[in-house]
């Protein structure tokens, strides 16, 4: 398909944005299959960051290609086919898919995806479906989790916030040491109202073989079960 490609690469920030990575027809079909085959959860958990009970800011789930590893849900065919397409495109392996579904009043706060079980450098590939949302990145100011970067180590005063518009069928890739030095978020968009104004983000990552249990336990807790039995949302 035809797509628009933009990239931003420095010694710290390395991202690729491809609009139209999936054709309109492909994106529509995959979105419909995700809504048919996948569950979405919204769970409560005790936050290590804030030391209080929190609710996930959007509807979530996690699937994996790793067999016989508990907790682990097998990846549905629609996600596995998308994973294989992305692996071929980026020449990178992926073994886990995080799903997020949110509406205009939902937001993803500033955070980094840096985790020991992902290693560093790491590649995170995200495919968007549904309504357009703004994606923002900025240099880390307060470290969470404890990663390498931060303004104490890297002097970039008053750096701008980088913004991209993630549309239906687009691909956004964060790679290199990006997670060590940059936070990202999806802010609210109150102009989007109603049940048909959702966005789905399918986020592919690779959990190291030496950290499978800690990786999947973490993702399963925050995306599926929380601290209690989850309320399951069917679409």
Q: What would the pLDDT profile of 220-229 be if each residue is shown by its tens digit?
A: 777 777 766 4
Write out pLDDT tens, residues 27-67.
999 999 999 999 998 877 666 665 667 777 789 899 999 87
Label residues 4-14 b or e (16+ Cβ within 10 Å = b): eeeeeeeebbb
CATH number, domain of 191, equals: 2.60.120.590
Report DSSP state, residue 159: P
pTM over 0.85: no
Where are the alpha helices (H) located in 162-211, listed in sequence order? 178-181
C-alpha span between 229 and 227 (Å, rounded):
7
Q: Cβ(131)–Cβ(197) under 8 Å? A: yes
C-alpha span between 117 and 16 (Å, rounded):
23
Higher pLDDT, 24 or 157: 24
Number of domains in the chain: 1
Read off the pLDDT band of 152 (50, 70, 90).
Answer: very low
Q: Cβ(197)–Cβ(35) under 8 Å? A: no
Instruction: Identify the CA nearest to 201 among candidates 46, 65, 38.
Output: 38
**Both tokens assigned to 98:** 């995080």
Domain residues for the domain of 31 are 4-233
Measured in degrees and rounded to the nearest 5, phi and psi for residue 114 equal -65, 120
Write out pLDDT tens, residues 166-188.
999 999 999 998 888 888 899 88
Residue 136: HSE in the Cβ half-sphere, 13 Å Cα cutoff: 17
Residue 148: HSE in the Cβ half-sphere, 13 Å Cα cutoff: 13
């Amino acid at each position: 398909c035809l797509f628009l490609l933009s990239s931003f690469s420095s010694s710290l920030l390395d991202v690729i944005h491809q609009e139209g990575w999936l054709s309109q027809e492909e994106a529509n079909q995959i979105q419909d299959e995700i809504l048919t085959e996948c569950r979405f959860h919204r769970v409560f958990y005790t936050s290590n960051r804030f030391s209080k009970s929190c609710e996930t800011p959007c509807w979530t789930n996690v699937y994996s290609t790793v067999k016989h590893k508990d907790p682990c849900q097998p990846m549905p065919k629609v996600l596995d086919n998308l994973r294989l397409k992305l692996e071929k495109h980026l020449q990178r392996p992926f073994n886990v898919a995080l799903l997020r579904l949110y509406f205009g009043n939902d937001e993803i706060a500033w955070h980094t995806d840096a985790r020991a079980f992902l290693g560093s450098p790491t590649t995170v590939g995200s495919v968007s479906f549904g309504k357009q949302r703004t994606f923002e990145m900025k240099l880390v100011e307060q470290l969470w989790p404890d990663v390498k970067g931060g303004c104490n180590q890297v002097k970039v005063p008053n750096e701008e916030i980088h913004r991209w518009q993630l549309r239906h069928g687009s691909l956004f890739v964060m790679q290199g040491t990006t997670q060590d030095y940059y936070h990202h978020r999806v802010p609210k968009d109150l102009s989007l109202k109603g049940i048909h104004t959702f966005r789905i983000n399918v986020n592919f990552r690779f959990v190291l073989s030496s950290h499978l249990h800690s990786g999947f336990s973490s993702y399963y807790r925050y995306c599926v079960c929380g601290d209690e039995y989850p309320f399951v949302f069917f679409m």
